[in-house]
Structure 1
Amino acid sequence: MPKHSVTPLSVLDLTPVSAGQTPGDALRSTLALAGVAEAAGYSRYWLAEHHLNTGVAGSAPHILAGLVASATKTIRVGTAATLLGNYRPLQIAESIGTLAAVFPDRVDLGFGRSGPPKSPSDPAPGVVPPTDTPDDRVVDGLLIPAPRPIFGAVLPRKFRLQGELLGRFPGDTDNFENDVQDIIGFFTGGYRTRHGEEVTATPALGQSPQFWIHGSTAGPSARLAGKLGLPFGANYHVAPAGVLDSIAEYRAHFEPSASLQEPQVIVSADVLVAPDEHQAQRLARGYAQWVHGIRSGQGALPYPSPEDALDLPLDADANDLVKDRVDTRLVGDPHQVRDKLRTLQRTTGAQELLITTIAHDPADRQSSYQLLAEAWGL
């Protein structure tokens, strides 16, 4: 009997480094997980971009995407997201064009806008600032937590150092729309210099990766995705407070394009599945500490084992800083997590869900994706 049609699931991999692992171990675990995800029926395998984190090895997503594509046969491979200010548009077009030429009809390019704020008091792009109504709310069964401030009035040194080393400057995200248009133009042949000169970007010209724009707020990224008629990636796993607003903003500004006639949304979720709830909760230990390293500006630390996490308690302020992430992480047995994801899909109206899973043991990550795929009906 054929299976009924189900909402596609895809993978977002940060390439986390666990305590006791080397970055090389983590990168090899990503390649192994990609093979598992492909065999289990996931549609896409996307790589994130993070820098200066000892607990994350996914700092070169274009290179890693090529390795993943080489290690698989059919699953789509891409970035979620390529942070545009960290590169020049031509560099991105040439890198992704290379992948698209070697792996036709398998490459996705996600655009992200993250960068330094214009002033120390402004939130970093993609961060939902706290509001005057700081209460959690439930919308159609989905928890929408109160926004959490990510940093204080002064950006942590690590965040500022990252910007300096990557050549970022306050306000450079104002170029986001032009950069997106330029990159697409290198692929379509529509790029022109300010003097009207045509430029051929080999091997990008003529290739056709699928372009996405990712965002966490009802801000410029959501509006640009709608304006250009591109699919939109909404961020429930990092900034759950803004997910519904960002999707609404995208849909309100959507204009049909040659590639997309109706809005298309993928929503990310942080998920951990185990054979039973007790085991899932045990494997989930360490997540709050790992998120706190990111939220506090220290950077992600190597992910602790469930046993070691018991010796890393957080105080009340630290717990409050990560409460929204912990409360919206979907943890449980396959059927529990399946039902929670169905709620997320129904409430957001997403056409696809993007699953990110972090655990100390790479084998537990693989098992989580396999159990979810089976319960979901991939």
Structure 2
Amino acid sequence: MKRFSILDLAPVTEEQTMSQAMAASVALAQHAESLGFHRFWLAEHHNIAGIASAATSVLIGHIASATKTMRIGAGGIMLPNHAPMMVAEQFGTLAALYPDRIDLGLGRAPGSDMDTARALRRNMQGGDQFPEDVVELLNFLGDNPNDAKVRAFPGEGSHVPVWILGSSLFGAQLAAHLGLPYAFASHFAPAHLEQALHIYRTKFRPSQWLGAPYAMMAMGVVGADTDEEARFLHSTQLMSFANVIQGAPGKLRKPVSDVEAHVPAHILGHVRGAMSIAAVGSPSTVQRRVTDIVGQYAPDEVIVTSMIYDLPARLASLTIASEALSALVE
């Protein structure tokens, strides 16, 4: 493993305003930078009261202005929601403001329900335009002839690093075909992780953007002084994901000691399976689990995420994660 990073959704707790949630993300990013995290990525989601990162590029700029060296980016922008030229202009602007610090991860899903997707896009095109849209976006960010009819300013010539994100085999195949770095959402969809990494690595074609495959995997990490305390803190994320599965996403709930009493057994079993690529426990437990996961999948980079209700506890968990991951950097 070469690097470790962090994925944030700017989570909003039951007791927070949106402004307070964004301020907490700034504090998290600054703490992550002090700990040696390489990237801080924000994800696009819509119509969810518990997530404040819907206007992802705006929040990326805010986080970048509050940090100094860490790369800040999207993990990711849901490209079906946007015209490629507008994404190129937004991230070209960010790259001009924060040179060599901006990443652009692209997802294929709408990041919302279909009603919200219609509200975002106004019309629903048939078919999957994602591969074509990725290529169009790459062209806008690259070098173009002076007589090109449509050009992105800012954006053109910025060569903002573009990543393909995914939770299935499609993204792995596309990233390999285009010669782009690849990030797998194993923190909530681990089923195809091993197969996706194999496809990406074996089918990768070197490109002008990347000479060899570079694979990132996501992992949930909740660290605390004891295993019991970490499991208690982790209940917030279990309940949050359960609410999403049941079609009732909302703000983060306070942790509970008896999560089984708050989530139906069949839903909780599904949630635990979906979040199995995780390290939850004391520093020694987190170290063992992280070491096992990295040893099994051999990622080039790990990106960690967590939904912890209390900010001081979240910062402390991030410190534990950094200590465990730092020991594995080669």
Structure 2 letter corresponding to 1:103: Y
SS of the aligned residue for 2:192 comes to helix
Do 1:182 and 1:191's aligned partners in 2 also have CA atoms closer than 8 Å? no
Do 2:178 and 2:207's aligned partners in 1 also have CA atoms closer than 8 Å? yes
Moved more, 353-362 or 316-325: 316-325
Superposed, which structure 2 residues align to 1:274-313 within 5 Å?
274-299=224-249, 301-307=250-256, 313=262
Task: Give the one of 152, 155, 162 matched to 1:204.
Answer: 155
Deviations 1:190-225 (A, max 9, x none): 499xxx943221111121211110111112x21111
Structure 1 letter corresponding to 2:225: P
**Separation of aligned partners in 2, 1:166 and 1:236:** 27
Percent identity between the two aligned chains: 32
How far off is 1:115 after superposition? 3.5
2:121 equivalent in structure 1: 167
2:266 equivalent in structure 1: 317
How far off is 1:376 after superposition? 3.1
2:17 equivalent in structure 1: 22
SS of the aligned residue for 1:174 comes to coil
**Separation of aligned partners in 1, 2:260 and 2:183:** 36
Deviations 1:263-295 (A, max 9, x none): 100100111011221221221223222101112
Do 1:286 and 1:309's aligned partners in 2 also have CA atoms closer than 8 Å? no
How far off is 1:105 after superposition? 0.7
How far off is 1:304 after superposition? 1.4
SS of the aligned residue for 1:256 comes to coil
Cα pair distance change 1:201/1:210, threshold 3 Å: same
Scaled by the length of structure 2, the TM-score of the pair is: 0.92
1:102 equivalent in structure 2: 97
1:61 aligns with 2:56: yes
Task: Give the one of 219, 222, 240 matched to 1:269.
Answer: 219
1:240 equivalent in structure 2: 190
Moved more, 331-340 or 177-186: 331-340
**Separation of aligned partners in 2, 1:217 and 1:54:** 27
How far off is 1:58 after superposition? 1.4
Deviations 1:45-86 (A, max 9, x none): 000111111111111110010001100000001001100011
SS of the aligned residue for 2:121 comes to coil
1:85 equivalent in structure 2: 80
Task: Give the one of 258, 274, 279 matched to 1:330.
Answer: 279
Superposed, which structure 2 residues align to 1:128-207 within 5 Å?
159-167=113-121, 174-190=128-144, 197-207=148-158
Structure 1 letter corresponding to 2:161: Q
Cα pair distance change 1:26/1:172, threshold 3 Å: farther
Unaligned 5+ segments in structure 1 are 1-5, 117-157
Unaligned 5+ segments in structure 2 are none
Structure 2 letter corresponding to 1:184: L
Structure 2 letter corresponding to 1:106: R
1:213 equivalent in structure 2: 164
**Separation of aligned partners in 1, 2:117 and 2:127:** 12
SS of the aligned residue for 1:284 comes to helix
How far off is 1:180 after superposition? 0.7
Structure 1 letter corresponding to 2:270: L
**Separation of aligned partners in 1, 2:239 and 2:145:** 45
**Separation of aligned partners in 1, 2:286 and 2:317:** 10
**Separation of aligned partners in 1, 2:322 and 2:275:** 23
Structure 2 letter corresponding to 1:188: G
Cα pair distance change 1:257/1:360, threshold 3 Å: same
**Separation of aligned partners in 2, 1:33 and 1:352:** 20
Cα pair distance change 1:326/1:51, threshold 3 Å: same
Structure 2 letter corresponding to 1:224: L
How far off is 1:168 after superposition? 6.5
2:203 equivalent in structure 1: 253
Deviations 1:235-256 (A, max 9, x none): 1101011111221221232101
**Separation of aligned partners in 1, 2:128 and 2:186:** 24
Do 1:85 and 1:168's aligned partners in 2 also have CA atoms closer than 8 Å? no
How far off is 1:173 after superposition? 6.1
**Separation of aligned partners in 1, 2:123 and 2:186:** 28
Cα pair distance change 1:326/1:223, threshold 3 Å: closer
How far off is 1:340 after superposition? 1.5
Structure 2 letter corresponding to 1:203: P
Task: Give the one of 281, 303, 322 matched to 1:373.
Answer: 322
Structure 2 letter corresponding to 1:72: T
